[in-house]
Structure 1
Amino acid sequence: MAADPAPRDRRDPRNRQEPRDLQERSVGGAGTGSRTGAVPPADAVAHGGGRAVGRWRRKSLRFRLTAVASAVLAVALVVSAYVMITVLGNALLTTIDESIYQRARETVSLADAGRLPNEMTSPDGTLLQVIDGAERITHTTTGTDRLVPLLDAGERAAAIDEGEARFLDGKPYGIPHMLRVRVLSADRGQTVIAARPFSEVQTSISTAGHVLIVGTPLLLILLAGASWVIIGGTLRPIAALRRGADEITGTARFRRLPVPEARDEVHSLATTLNAMLARLEKAGIRQRALVSDAAHELRSPLASIRLQLEVALGHPEGQDWRETAEGVLEDTMRLSRLAEDLLSLARLDERGGTPARGEPVELDQLVSQTVERYGEAVTVRISGQPDVSQPDVNRPDTDRPDSAPGSVTTGGPESGSGALTGEPEGRPIRVTGDALDLGRVLVNLVDNALRHTSAPVVVELRAEGADAVLTVTDDGPGIPEADRERVFDRFTRLDSARSRDEGGAGLGLAIVRETVHAHGGAVHLEDASPGLRAVVRLPLS
C-alpha cells in the first residue's frame, strides 16, 4: 500500500512542474549573479591558491617541516585509532560469539543426553533457552523469559541455516541491551538459543574511543613539539653556517665557516664551503699579487719613457731625437711583451687548465720551425726523423759537421734515437694540444736560456716511453736547487736576473708551467753541469 502514492505523484503534472520551477529559479539566480547561486571565476580561485602557496613558502623551513610532520602524524594517528577500534570491536565480537557458541554446544550435549537441570545457570551471564518440538520452552537460565522465545520458529530456522550469530534487540523481551544470539539444534526437535548482552563490548569500545579522542590530540601535540625541537636542533648548524657567512666580509677573508661535529650532510656542506672559501682566498691572493706585480712592472718602463720624453722636451736643442726614439721604442716593446704575457696568463686562467685546442701537433716539425728564427744561437737535436746524412755514430758530437750551431741533428745514440720508442725510425713525434701555445713554451724557454748563456742553446726532442721529452740546455750560471721550483711563480726573478738589461718580467716560466700542465704534462729544471736544463714532458698521442 505504501507504493501507491509514488505512481500518482509521477503521473501528476503539478508534481513534475515543481522541480522544473526550482531548477529554473536556481539557474536564474546563478545567471543574475545572486549571492547564493554565483560561482567564483577560475582566475580568482587560482589567484587565491597562489596567495596561499606564496604564504606557505614564506614560512620558515622549521615551521614547514614541523607542519608537514604533524600533518602526517595526525593522519597516521587517526588511521591507527580507527584500525584499533575496528580490530578491538571485531576481537570482542569474536570472543562473545565463541563464548555463546560454547555454551550453546554444552547445552545441546546435555539436552541430547537428557541431563538438563531444572534450574540452569551460566557463570558468564549467557542467557539460554531450550525449546522442544511443540514450541514450548522447557529450560531457561535465571532472568530469561519462560513463555516467549527470543526467536520465533522461522527466525530460529534461518539462524540455524546461517550457522552464525546475529544481533537482537532485547527491549521487547525486557532486556535493556542489544543481544548477540546463536541458535543450535538438538535431538528430538529441540532447539537451543544462547544469547549474551552486547553492552560489555559497546562499553569497551566506547571507553577505548574516549581514551583515543583525548589521548590522540595530546600525543599529536607531544609529537609536534618533539618534531619542532628535533628539526630546530638539526637546522641549528645551518643557522651557524649562515651567521658565519654573514661575518665573513672583505676584511675577514681568512675566516672559515663552523663545521659541525656530526658527520652528516651539513658537515659535508660546511667542509665543501670551506674548501671553496680556501680556493677563493687563494685566487684572491693570486689576483692581488698579479695586479700589484703588474703595476710594478708597468711603472718602470712608463717612468723610463716619461723621463726620456721630459728630458728631450726640456732640452730640444741638444737632444739626439733618434736615440730618444730608440729608447722609447725599447721601453714600448717591453710594455708590449708584458701585455702579451699577462694576456696569455689571463687566457690560461680563463680556460681553467685546458688547452685552447685539442688537435694533433707534430712536435718535431713545430720545434724545427720555431728555432729557425734563432739562427746559429740554437742547436737542435731531434730523434724520430730520417737520418739523411747517416753520420758515423762513433764520432763525438763536437766532430760532426751537423753539430754546428743552427743545425738539426737527428738519429744517433747521443740524441735519443727513435729506437727508444720501439717504433720505426722516421715516425713523427705527435702530441695533442694547441700548436701556438706549445710553440710559445719553446720560445719562452729558449729566450730565458739565451739571457744567461754565451754558447749556443741546445734544444733536444725525443720520444721516451709514452712521453715526448723536450729539453732546453744552456751553460749559464744555473739556478740553486732551492729556487728551481720558485722561479715558476709569476713575477719571480732571482737576484742575479733583476737588472733590466737581463730582460723579462718573470712571467715566461709561469706561462710555460701553466701551458704544460694544461696539456697534461710536467716541467722541471735540473742541473746541466755546467748550466741549467729545462725538461718538458708531454704525453704522446
Structure 2
Amino acid sequence: MGVFGRLSLRARLSLAATAMAAVGLGIGGILLLIALDRALLGALDETARRQGEDIAALVESGQPPNPLPSFGAVVAQVIDAEGRVLASTPGGDRLTPVVAGDDLAAVRAGEAIELDGTRLGQPDPLRVIGVPTDAVSGPVTVLVAVSLEEQQRSVEFAKIGVAAGGAAVTAALAVLSWLVIVRALRPVDQLRGGAEEITGAGGGHRLPVPAGGDELSRLAVTLNDMLGRLDAAAARQRAFVADAAHELRSPIAALRTELEVALAHPDAVDPHDTAREALVEVERMGRLVDDLLVLAHLDSPRPVRRDELISLDELAVEVADGVRGARVPVSVAAGADVHTRGHRDSLSRVLRNLVGNAVRHASSSVTVTVTAAGSLARLAVTDDGAGVPPADRERIFERFTRLDDARDRDAGGSGLGLAIAREIVVAHGGTVTVEDAEPGARFVVTLPAARTTVGAPRAVT
C-alpha cells in the first residue's frame, strides 16, 4: 500500500479535492495566458497595421518622404517588387530590407512574423507585418516592425499573477475542503462510536442518527432498523433454544426415571414395560428433534423449492387416508383439479399438522375442504371442538405454544406443529388463518393457484 493509501480518509479526500482544484486552476491559468498572449499580439498587429496604412497613404499620394515618419514603429520601410528599399525610417537600413526571402514573401502574403531584435540593434524581439500598396513606380510593400517588449512584459506579469493567485486559491480550497470534509465526516465518527458500544449481547443499543435528513441520516436509520431486526432474531433464537431445552428435559427426565427405577428395583419392574415406556419417550424426543430440524431448515436463508405441480385434492385424500383409525373420522370435500406449485413433502407436512391438531381437539369429526377462487387455492381444515378464542388466534402459531395448560404433553404435542405449518405456507407465498366454525375452529390455508378448474366437490371419508 502506498503512502496515499496509508493516509486517513479525510486526508485522502482533501488531497484529491485539492489536486483536482489545482489541475483545474492550472488549466484555466494556461488558457488565460494563451488568450492574453493572442489578444496582445492581435492588438499589436492591429497597431502596426494602422501605422503601415498611414505610411501607405503617404506613398500613394506621391513621392514618400525619406526618411519616413515612424508613427511609433521601431522600423518602417517601403520595399518595391524587387526587394529594394525605397524609403525607411531614421532607425532602419536604407539598403537592406528588414526581412528577405521566405520571410518577405510571408509578410507580403499578410502574415506577421517575429524577428530577432539584435539584427536591428534592439534588445527585444520585433513583430513585422506588411501593408501592400501602389506607388507611382508600381506596387510596393510597407514593412512595419514594432517591439514586443510591452507584450512580453504584460504576459510575464500575468504569469506571475496567475501562479500566485492559483497557489493562494489552491491553498484556500485545501483548507476549506479539509474543514468541510471534517464536518461532513463527523457523523461517521459518531456512528463508529455508537457501533463500538454495541456488544451483541442485546440491550437495545442503537446508533445515533445525525440531524439533517441526508444520506448519513438515512444510513443510520437503516442500520438501526437492521439492528432491531437482529435483536428480534437473537431474542427469538434465545427463546427458541430455551424452549427447546425445556421441552427436551421432560422426555429425558422421564426416560432417566424409568431407567433408574429399573436398575434400582430389577425384581419389581417388568423389563418389557420399562422398554415400552422408554420407547414412548424416545419417540417423543424423536418427533421433537424432527420438528426442530424442520424449523432450523425453514429459518435458513435457502429458499424452499417451489417447482412441483401439486394437486391439493390428491394431497388432502392422501393425508386423510394416513389418519384412518384416528379417534374421530376425517372426511375430504375437494374441488376438481385444484393445483398449486411448491414442495410436495412440505405441503403434506402442513396438512398433516393441521389435521393432527384438529383430530386432537375435535368432538366428533374433522373435515378437509379444497376449493379454488380465481388465482388462489384454498384449503380448510375444520373441527367441531371448542374452537380458538379470538385473542389467541395469532399466538397459537408461535413456537411451543399450548392453549390448554391442563392437557398433558403426549396428547397436546410439542407446540411446534402450527408454527411449522405457518412457516412452510409463508415460504410458499401463502397465508394461514383461523376462523370460527360454529362450533369448532377452521384453519384456512391460502396458496397461489397454478391452475383452477372448478368442478363438483367430491367427498371422501
TM-score by length of 2: 0.84
Query: Which of residues 330, 334, 337 in structure 1 aligns to 2:287?
Result: 337
Answer whether contact 1:461 1:468 (CA < 8 A) is retained.
yes
> Which residue number in structure 2 is paired with residue 512 of structure 1?
421
Answer whether contact 1:127 1:196 (CA < 8 A) is retained.
yes
In 2, Cα distance between equivalents of 1:164 and 1:226: 49
Query: Which residue identity lines up with residue 311 of structure 2 in the other structure?
Result: E
> Which residue number in structure 2 is paired with residue 500 of structure 1?
409
Query: Which residue identity lines up with residue 201 of structure 1 in the other structure?
Result: Q
Answer whether contact 1:159 1:182 (CA < 8 A) is retained.
no
Kindly indicate whether residue 11 of structure 2 is the aligned counterpart of residue 67 of structure 1: no
Kindly indicate whether residue 179 of structure 2 is the aligned counterpart of residue 233 of structure 1: no
Kindly indicate whether residue 108 of structure 2 is the aligned counterpart of residue 161 of structure 1: yes
Mark the CA change 1:191 to 1:529 in structure 2 (over 3 Å): closer, same or farther: closer
Give deviations 1:199-253, integer Å, cap 9, x for gaps: 1001101111122333333333222333333333333333333222222103355
Runs of 5+ unmatched residues, structure 1: 1-52, 385-426
In 1, Cα distance between equivalents of 2:292 and 2:123: 104
Mark the CA change 1:150 to 1:520 in structure 2 (over 3 Å): closer, same or farther: same
Report the CA distance between 1:485 and its aligned residue: 0.9
Give deviations 1:70-100, integer Å, cap 9, x for gaps: 3333333333333222221111011100111
Query: Which of residues 366, 372, 376 in structure 2 aligns to 1:463?
Result: 372
Kindly indicate whether residue 442 of structure 2 is the aligned counterpart of residue 491 of structure 1: no
> Which residue number in structure 2 is paired with residue 9 of structure 1?
none
Kindly indicate whether residue 329 of structure 2 is the aligned counterpart of residue 378 of structure 1: yes
Answer whether contact 1:150 1:193 (CA < 8 A) is retained.
no
Mark the CA change 1:432 to 1:175 in structure 2 (over 3 Å): closer, same or farther: closer
Mark the CA change 1:223 to 1:259 in structure 2 (over 3 Å): closer, same or farther: same
> Which residue number in structure 1 is paired with residue 164 of structure 2?
214
CA RMSD of superposed structures (Å): 3.1
Mark the CA change 1:334 to 1:129 in structure 2 (over 3 Å): closer, same or farther: closer
Runs of 5+ unmatched residues, structure 2: 451-461
Q: Which moved more, 1:54-63 or 1:238-247?
A: 54-63
Kindly indicate whether residue 201 of structure 2 is the aligned counterpart of residue 251 of structure 1: yes
SS in 2 for 1:279: helix
In 1, Cα distance between equivalents of 2:304 and 2:86: 111
> Which residue number in structure 1 is paired with residue 457 of structure 2?
none
Mark the CA change 1:473 to 1:186 in structure 2 (over 3 Å): closer, same or farther: same
Give deviations 1:94-140, integer Å, cap 9, x for gaps: 110011101211232243235978998777x33564648784537x5
Report the CA distance between 1:502 and its aligned residue: 3.4
Query: Which of residues 92, 98, 102 in structure 1 aligns to 2:50?
Result: 102
In 2, Cα distance between equivalents of 1:103 and 1:179: 15
In 2, Cα distance between equivalents of 1:497 and 1:188: 137
SS in 1 for 2:372: strand
> Which residue number in structure 2 is paired with residue 151 of structure 1?
97
Report the CA distance between 1:268 and its aligned residue: 4.4
Name the structure, 1 or 2, with higher relative contact order (CA <8 Å, separation 6+): 2
Report the CA distance between 1:362 and its aligned residue: 1.9
Answer whether contact 1:150 1:173 (CA < 8 A) is retained.
no
Query: Which residue identity lines up with residue 312 of structure 2 in the other structure?
Result: L
Mark the CA change 1:160 to 1:499 in structure 2 (over 3 Å): closer, same or farther: closer
TM-score by length of 1: 0.73
> Which residue number in structure 2 is paired with residue 199 of structure 1?
149
In 1, Cα distance between equivalents of 2:110 and 2:76: 17
Residue-pair matches, total: 441
> Which residue number in structure 1 is paired with residue 125 of structure 2?
178
> Which residue number in structure 1 is paired with residue 40 of structure 2?
92
Give deviations 1:36-68, integer Å, cap 9, x for gaps: xxxxxxxxxxxxxxxxx4444333233333333
> Which residue number in structure 2 is paired with residue 369 of structure 1?
318
In 1, Cα distance between equivalents of 2:100 and 2:394: 111
Query: Which residue identity lines up with residue 64 of structure 1 in the other structure?
Result: R
Q: Which moved more, 1:222-231 or 1:167-176?
A: 167-176
Answer whether contact 1:468 1:538 (CA < 8 A) is retained.
yes
More helix by share: 1
In 1, Cα distance between equivalents of 2:104 and 2:257: 130
In 2, Cα distance between equivalents of 1:169 and 1:149: 19
Query: Which residue identity lines up with residue 145 of structure 1 in the other structure?
Result: G
